[in-house]
Amino acid sequence: MKQDVLSLIEQNYPNLSPSARSIANYLQQHPLAIVSQTSAEIAEHTHTSKATVSRFFRQLGFESQQDAKQAQLQLRQNGVPVLTQGHSIDQTAEELKNLSQTFEGLHADILNDVCAQLANASRVTLIGFRNSYPVALHFRQQLQQIRPSIRLLPQPGQTLGEDLHDILDDEVIVLFGFQRRTRVFKKIVEVLKGHQTILITDPTGQMYNQQVSQVLVCHLGNDNPFYSYAAPMSLVSMLSNRVYDLIGKNGHHRTQAISQLFNELGEME
């Protein structure tokens, strides 16, 4: 995977000619130009020529300005925060689009099956790394209020081998895997093969379809430098509510008992 154009500019800046430095200065100040402008437009803004712009990108290691643009877009697809749109993005519309695409793509029979598993399993294990960890943590907080035997992995400072070895036959594992996934993620999927594993991921995680029991796809958006986790959090909320309905009275009694403990401990306002 090629590096970010801006990082390459910084690395190569001392070796650039005066005209190439003009281009470098312009792109550092206007990074969106890398993907939104042609070589001719960059040349015009920097008072250089198309040939100079072409030489500039070749010096950075690209075949052309178009090659640099594609590399920049590919970085974004791989989860690297890179500016690819202007500042006029309608954030509300973007979030609504992510939510709509996510929920329209979920099949009712799969959701019903997943929720039944989460309600009836002897234990539920939630696994998430990096940006997936807070989503898994929130899911744990929700599920633990309505049913026992919920655990979150990895524990801080701990390895996974012991816990993955102790997975029960009727245990359900919910694996969260959003970009950018760690190298160990693929190995975890392989270790969990044969177990009841639910993968909650973005569209790129569908590559694991054949290795897990169910896949729930969330859309995170591609226009902003950073992905949005509104859709995964909303999915977790929906699953928690459905599981609560399935558990029924036992879930209600558990939430009441936990609320009573909150009061006794003085943990809540």
CA gap 202, 228 in Å, rounded: 11
The answer to whether 38 and 64 are in contact (CB under 8 A) is no
User: What pLDDT score does 64 carry?
Assistant: 87
Range of the domain at 57: 5-77
Question: Highest mean pLDDT range out of 34-43, 112-121, 157-166, 198-207?
Answer: 112-121
- Weakest mean pLDDT among 84-98, 160-174, 228-242: 84-98
Q: With pLDDT > 90 as the criterion, what percentage of the chain qualifies?
A: 45
Provide the pLDDT for residue 267: 82
187 in a domain, yes or no? yes
- pLDDT per residue as tens digits for the range 215-228: 999 988 876 777 88
97-125 residue pLDDT tens: 889 989 988 999 999 999 999 999 999 99
Domain presence at residue 85 = no
Question: From CA 253, how far away is CA 107, in angstroms rounded?
Answer: 31
Residue 175 pLDDT: 97
pLDDT at 37: 86
Whether 71 and 105 map to the same domain: the answer is no
**Is residue 15 located within the same domain as residue 50?**
yes
Contacts of 191 (CB under 8 A, 6+ apart): 164
| Cα separation values, 56 from 17, 18, 28, 31, 69, Å | 9, 11, 14, 15, 13
Q: Is residue 99, in this structure, part of any structural domain at all?
A: yes
- Same-domain status, 66 and 106: no
pLDDT classification of 2: cutoffs 50, 70, 90: low
Tell me phi and psi for residue 127, to 5 degrees. -125, 130
Q: What torsion do the CA atoms of 237, 238, 244, 246 make, to the nearest 10 degrees? A: -160
Q: Are 181 and 129 in contact (CB under 8 A)?
A: yes
The overall pTM is greater than 0.85: no
Inside any domain, residue 19: yes
Mean per-residue pLDDT, 155-183: 89
256 has pLDDT over 60: yes
Structural domain tally of the chain?
2
Q: Is residue 246 within a helix (H) or strand (E), and if so which, with residue range?
A: helix 230-247
How much is the CA Rg of the chain, to the nearest whole Å? 24
Same-domain pairing of 140 and 205: yes
Q: What is the pLDDT of residue 240?
A: 97
Same domain, 128 and 30: no
pLDDT of 1 higher than 60:
no
pLDDT computed for residue 44 by the predictor: 92
Q: In 3D, which of 194, 205, 206 has the Cα closest to residue 164?
A: 194
99 and 218 housed in the same domain: yes
Same domain, 70 and 166: no
Mean pLDDT, the chain, whole residue set:
88
Tell me the per-residue pLDDT of 9-54, one tens digit each, with 9 for 90 and over: 888 888 889 999 989 888 888 878 888 888 999 999 999 999 999 9
